[in-house]
Amino acid sequence: MAYKNRMDLHTHTDNSFDGHHSIMYMCEKACEKGIKAIAFTDHIEVDCYYEEHYDKVTVQAYFEMAKARSAFDGKIIVCAGMEMGEASYNPEVAEKILNDHKYDIILGSIHNLRGEDDFCFLDYFNNDVDEILNEYFDEICGLANWGKFDSLAHLTYPLRYIEGEARIHVDLSKYSSKIDEALRTLAEKDRALEINTSGLFNKIGKTLPEENIVRRFRELGGKLVTVGSDSHYADYIGRGIETGMDIAKRSGFDSIALFSGREPIEIPIE
Ligand SMILES: [Zn+2]
Ligand SMILES: [Zn+2]
Protein backbone atom coordinates (compact mmCIF):
# COMPACT_ATOMS: atom_id res chain seq x y z
CA MET A 1 0.00 0.00 0.00
CA ALA A 2 1.24 3.50 -0.78
CA TYR A 3 1.70 5.70 2.24
CA LYS A 4 2.00 9.46 2.05
CA ASN A 5 3.75 9.89 5.42
CA ARG A 6 6.97 8.13 4.51
CA MET A 7 9.96 9.03 6.67
CA ASP A 8 13.45 7.59 6.63
CA LEU A 9 15.12 8.06 10.00
CA HIS A 10 18.33 6.11 9.39
CA THR A 11 20.66 7.18 6.57
CA HIS A 12 24.41 7.60 6.09
CA THR A 13 26.17 10.31 4.10
CA ASP A 14 29.80 10.69 3.05
CA ASN A 15 30.46 11.74 6.64
CA SER A 16 30.32 8.01 7.42
CA PHE A 17 33.38 5.97 6.40
CA ASP A 18 31.02 3.67 4.49
CA GLY A 19 28.68 6.36 3.07
CA HIS A 20 28.86 7.63 -0.50
CA HIS A 21 26.89 10.84 -1.06
CA SER A 22 26.72 14.36 0.31
CA ILE A 23 23.91 15.51 2.55
CA MET A 24 22.67 18.03 -0.05
CA TYR A 25 22.50 15.40 -2.80
CA MET A 26 20.70 13.00 -0.47
CA CYS A 27 18.13 15.68 0.43
CA GLU A 28 17.52 16.30 -3.27
CA LYS A 29 17.00 12.56 -3.89
CA ALA A 30 14.72 12.21 -0.87
CA CYS A 31 12.55 15.09 -2.15
CA GLU A 32 12.34 13.42 -5.58
CA LYS A 33 11.10 10.25 -3.88
CA GLY A 34 8.40 12.19 -2.01
CA ILE A 35 9.83 11.38 1.44
CA LYS A 36 8.44 13.70 4.14
CA ALA A 37 11.32 13.57 6.64
CA ILE A 38 14.88 12.31 6.58
CA ALA A 39 17.29 11.85 9.46
CA PHE A 40 21.02 11.81 8.81
CA THR A 41 22.56 9.39 11.24
CA ASP A 42 26.23 9.11 10.45
CA HIS A 43 28.34 6.67 12.43
CA ILE A 44 29.95 7.63 15.70
CA GLU A 45 31.64 4.66 17.33
CA VAL A 46 32.04 5.58 20.98
CA ASP A 47 34.54 2.82 21.76
CA CYS A 48 37.09 4.34 19.36
CA TYR A 49 35.84 7.95 19.23
CA TYR A 50 39.19 9.76 19.46
CA GLU A 51 41.40 7.03 17.96
CA GLU A 52 39.34 7.01 14.75
CA HIS A 53 38.84 10.83 14.68
CA TYR A 54 35.07 10.72 15.03
CA ASP A 55 35.38 13.94 17.02
CA LYS A 56 36.20 15.82 13.78
CA VAL A 57 33.47 14.06 11.82
CA THR A 58 30.73 15.03 14.29
CA VAL A 59 31.49 18.75 13.93
CA GLN A 60 31.51 18.56 10.12
CA ALA A 61 28.34 16.46 9.94
CA TYR A 62 26.45 18.66 12.38
CA PHE A 63 27.09 21.85 10.43
CA GLU A 64 26.23 20.22 7.11
CA MET A 65 22.93 19.00 8.56
CA ALA A 66 22.13 22.52 9.79
CA LYS A 67 22.90 23.92 6.33
CA ALA A 68 20.70 21.30 4.62
CA ARG A 69 17.85 21.99 7.02
CA SER A 70 17.69 25.64 5.97
CA ALA A 71 18.33 24.94 2.27
CA PHE A 72 15.45 22.43 2.13
CA ASP A 73 13.10 24.28 4.46
CA GLY A 74 9.48 23.71 3.34
CA LYS A 75 10.49 20.81 1.05
CA ILE A 76 11.51 18.11 3.49
CA ILE A 77 12.04 17.86 7.24
CA VAL A 78 15.75 17.37 7.91
CA CYS A 79 16.55 15.78 11.27
CA ALA A 80 20.05 16.15 12.64
CA GLY A 81 21.02 12.81 14.05
CA MET A 82 23.76 10.30 14.62
CA GLU A 83 24.04 6.56 14.96
CA MET A 84 25.94 6.14 18.18
CA GLY A 85 27.61 2.75 18.35
CA GLU A 86 28.60 1.08 21.62
CA ALA A 87 27.62 4.06 23.84
CA SER A 88 27.35 1.80 26.88
CA TYR A 89 31.01 0.75 26.49
CA ASN A 90 32.09 4.28 27.37
CA PRO A 91 29.13 6.28 28.75
CA GLU A 92 31.37 9.18 29.73
CA VAL A 93 32.44 9.86 26.14
CA ALA A 94 28.89 9.18 24.89
CA GLU A 95 27.42 11.78 27.21
CA LYS A 96 30.04 14.34 26.23
CA ILE A 97 29.16 13.84 22.54
CA LEU A 98 25.46 14.27 23.27
CA ASN A 99 26.12 17.57 25.01
CA ASP A 100 28.26 19.01 22.20
CA HIS A 101 25.39 19.72 19.76
CA LYS A 102 21.59 19.85 19.77
CA TYR A 103 20.46 16.74 17.92
CA ASP A 104 16.97 15.71 16.80
CA ILE A 105 17.50 11.97 16.99
CA ILE A 106 20.11 9.63 18.37
CA LEU A 107 20.10 6.00 17.26
CA GLY A 108 21.68 3.55 19.68
CA SER A 109 23.40 0.52 18.20
CA ILE A 110 25.86 -2.29 18.88
CA HIS A 111 28.15 -3.27 15.97
CA ASN A 112 30.74 -5.24 17.93
CA LEU A 113 31.37 -6.93 21.25
CA ARG A 114 33.87 -5.25 23.59
CA GLY A 115 37.35 -5.25 22.06
CA GLU A 116 36.14 -7.25 19.05
CA ASP A 117 35.66 -6.43 15.36
CA ASP A 118 32.31 -5.59 13.81
CA PHE A 119 30.00 -8.62 13.58
CA CYS A 120 30.46 -8.51 9.81
CA PHE A 121 34.09 -9.62 10.23
CA LEU A 122 33.60 -12.52 12.66
CA ASP A 123 34.17 -16.13 11.67
CA TYR A 124 30.97 -17.92 12.65
CA PHE A 125 32.25 -21.35 11.65
CA ASN A 126 35.14 -21.34 14.11
CA ASN A 127 33.48 -19.44 16.94
CA ASP A 128 30.60 -20.32 19.22
CA VAL A 129 27.57 -18.56 17.69
CA ASP A 130 25.47 -19.15 20.80
CA GLU A 131 28.10 -17.50 22.99
CA ILE A 132 28.38 -14.53 20.62
CA LEU A 133 24.62 -14.02 20.57
CA ASN A 134 24.28 -14.34 24.35
CA GLU A 135 26.93 -11.68 24.75
CA TYR A 136 25.31 -9.50 22.07
CA PHE A 137 21.90 -9.57 23.77
CA ASP A 138 23.53 -8.86 27.15
CA GLU A 139 25.15 -5.79 25.60
CA ILE A 140 21.80 -4.76 24.08
CA CYS A 141 20.25 -4.95 27.58
CA GLY A 142 23.14 -2.82 28.88
CA LEU A 143 22.62 -0.27 26.12
CA ALA A 144 18.86 -0.15 26.80
CA ASN A 145 19.58 0.38 30.49
CA TRP A 146 21.93 3.25 29.69
CA GLY A 147 19.06 4.51 27.55
CA LYS A 148 20.25 7.96 26.51
CA PHE A 149 19.36 7.44 22.86
CA ASP A 150 15.98 7.80 21.12
CA SER A 151 15.60 4.66 19.02
CA LEU A 152 17.36 1.29 19.27
CA ALA A 153 18.77 0.63 15.81
CA HIS A 154 18.78 -2.71 13.98
CA LEU A 155 18.21 -5.06 16.93
CA THR A 156 19.48 -8.56 15.88
CA TYR A 157 22.21 -7.01 13.68
CA PRO A 158 24.55 -10.08 13.98
CA LEU A 159 21.89 -12.19 12.22
CA ARG A 160 22.58 -10.24 9.04
CA TYR A 161 25.91 -12.11 8.96
CA ILE A 162 25.14 -15.32 10.88
CA GLU A 163 21.95 -16.17 9.02
CA GLY A 164 22.33 -13.99 5.93
CA GLU A 165 25.98 -14.62 5.04
CA ALA A 166 27.10 -17.76 6.93
CA ARG A 167 23.67 -19.39 6.43
CA ILE A 168 23.62 -20.67 10.02
CA HIS A 169 20.07 -20.94 11.31
CA VAL A 170 19.42 -19.23 14.65
CA ASP A 171 16.53 -20.10 16.94
CA LEU A 172 15.83 -16.70 18.48
CA SER A 173 13.48 -18.22 21.07
CA LYS A 174 16.64 -19.26 22.98
CA TYR A 175 17.29 -15.58 23.67
CA SER A 176 13.70 -14.54 24.29
CA SER A 177 14.18 -13.68 27.96
CA LYS A 178 17.06 -11.31 27.12
CA ILE A 179 15.17 -9.83 24.18
CA ASP A 180 12.12 -9.33 26.40
CA GLU A 181 14.25 -7.64 29.03
CA ALA A 182 15.65 -5.19 26.46
CA LEU A 183 12.22 -4.49 24.96
CA ARG A 184 10.67 -3.98 28.40
CA THR A 185 13.43 -1.52 29.34
CA LEU A 186 12.90 0.44 26.12
CA ALA A 187 9.15 0.57 26.76
CA GLU A 188 9.59 1.71 30.36
CA LYS A 189 11.98 4.46 29.31
CA ASP A 190 9.69 5.55 26.43
CA ARG A 191 12.38 4.78 23.89
CA ALA A 192 11.61 3.75 20.34
CA LEU A 193 12.43 0.49 18.59
CA GLU A 194 13.69 0.90 15.03
CA ILE A 195 12.39 -1.26 12.20
CA ASN A 196 15.49 -1.32 9.99
CA THR A 197 14.52 -2.23 6.44
CA SER A 198 18.05 -2.79 5.05
CA GLY A 199 17.80 -6.52 5.75
CA LEU A 200 14.98 -6.83 3.21
CA PHE A 201 17.61 -6.18 0.53
CA ASN A 202 20.44 -8.26 2.05
CA LYS A 203 20.74 -12.02 1.99
CA ILE A 204 18.85 -12.29 5.28
CA GLY A 205 15.72 -11.00 3.49
CA LYS A 206 13.87 -9.61 6.51
CA THR A 207 13.77 -6.49 8.64
CA LEU A 208 16.03 -6.05 11.67
CA PRO A 209 14.41 -6.91 13.98
CA GLU A 210 11.86 -9.19 12.36
CA GLU A 211 8.13 -8.68 12.72
CA ASN A 212 7.47 -10.92 15.74
CA ILE A 213 9.94 -8.89 17.84
CA VAL A 214 8.16 -5.66 16.85
CA ARG A 215 4.89 -7.28 17.90
CA ARG A 216 6.43 -8.43 21.19
CA PHE A 217 7.63 -4.86 21.85
CA ARG A 218 4.03 -3.68 21.50
CA GLU A 219 2.79 -6.44 23.84
CA LEU A 220 5.34 -5.36 26.43
CA GLY A 221 4.07 -1.80 26.36
CA GLY A 222 6.22 -0.25 23.60
CA LYS A 223 4.68 2.94 22.26
CA LEU A 224 7.19 4.27 19.72
CA VAL A 225 8.70 2.80 16.58
CA THR A 226 10.89 4.44 13.95
CA VAL A 227 11.54 3.17 10.43
CA GLY A 228 14.86 3.54 8.63
CA SER A 229 16.45 2.23 5.46
CA ASP A 230 20.05 2.45 6.77
CA SER A 231 20.88 3.52 3.25
CA HIS A 232 24.50 4.32 2.45
CA TYR A 233 23.64 5.51 -1.09
CA ALA A 234 21.27 8.28 -2.21
CA ASP A 235 19.40 5.86 -4.49
CA TYR A 236 18.51 3.62 -1.58
CA ILE A 237 16.87 6.31 0.56
CA GLY A 238 13.39 5.18 1.57
CA ARG A 239 13.91 1.56 0.47
CA GLY A 240 11.52 -0.75 2.28
CA ILE A 241 9.96 2.05 4.34
CA GLU A 242 6.43 1.03 3.32
CA THR A 243 7.10 -2.58 4.35
CA GLY A 244 8.36 -1.23 7.68
CA MET A 245 5.17 0.79 8.08
CA ASP A 246 3.10 -2.31 7.24
CA ILE A 247 4.94 -4.28 9.92
CA ALA A 248 4.36 -1.51 12.49
CA LYS A 249 0.67 -1.45 11.65
CA ARG A 250 0.24 -5.22 11.82
CA SER A 251 2.07 -5.17 15.17
CA GLY A 252 -0.50 -2.80 16.66
CA PHE A 253 1.10 0.62 16.16
CA ASP A 254 -0.96 3.37 14.54
CA SER A 255 1.87 5.85 14.21
CA ILE A 256 5.58 6.08 13.38
CA ALA A 257 7.75 8.37 15.47
CA LEU A 258 9.58 11.37 14.08
CA PHE A 259 11.98 13.16 16.40
CA SER A 260 12.59 16.87 16.78
CA GLY A 261 14.98 18.15 19.42
CA ARG A 262 14.98 14.60 20.80
CA GLU A 263 11.23 14.68 21.45
CA PRO A 264 9.00 12.17 19.65
CA ILE A 265 6.22 13.34 17.36
CA GLU A 266 3.80 10.57 16.43
CA ILE A 267 2.97 10.62 12.71
CA PRO A 268 -0.06 8.49 11.72
CA ILE A 269 0.54 5.49 9.47
CA GLU A 270 -1.26 6.73 6.36
ZN1 LIG B 1 24.42 0.32 12.36
ZN1 LIG C 1 23.44 2.66 10.07
> Average pLDDT of 13-40?
95
> CB of 228 within 8 A of CB of 9?
yes
For the ranges 2-16, 50-64, 242-256, which has the lowest average pLDDT? Answer: 50-64
Q: What is the pTM of this model?
A: 0.97
In the reported structure, the alpha carbon of residue 118 is separated from the centroid of ligand 1 by a whole-number distance in angstroms of: 10
In the reported structure, the alpha carbon of residue 19 is separated from the centroid of ligand 2 by a whole-number distance in angstroms of: 9
Sheet holding 151-152, edge to edge: 7-11, 37-45, 77-85, 105-109, 151-152, 192-196, 225-228
In the reported structure, the alpha carbon of residue 150 is separated from the centroid of ligand 1 by a whole-number distance in angstroms of: 14
In the reported structure, the alpha carbon of residue 195 is separated from the centroid of ligand 1 by a whole-number distance in angstroms of: 12
Ligand nearest to the CA of residue 39, numbered in listed order? 2
Average pLDDT over the chain reads 96
pLDDT, residue 136, reads 98
pLDDT, residue 1, reads 59
Q: Which of 21, 9, 18 lies closest to 228, judged by CA?
A: 9
In the reported structure, the alpha carbon of residue 73 is separated from the centroid of ligand 2 by a whole-number distance in angstroms of: 25
Q: Is the pLDDT of residue 243 over 80?
A: yes
> Average pLDDT of 113-130?
96
Judged by DSSP in three states, 217 sits in helix
In the reported structure, the alpha carbon of residue 211 is separated from the centroid of ligand 1 by a whole-number distance in angstroms of: 19
In the reported structure, the alpha carbon of residue 224 is separated from the centroid of ligand 2 by a whole-number distance in angstroms of: 19
- CA angle at 189 for the pair 187 and 191, rounded to the nearest 5°: 65
Walk me through the domains of the chain, giving residue ranges and CATH numbers.
8-230+240-268 (3.20.20.140)
> Average pLDDT of 229-250?
97
In the reported structure, the alpha carbon of residue 58 is separated from the centroid of ligand 2 by a whole-number distance in angstroms of: 15
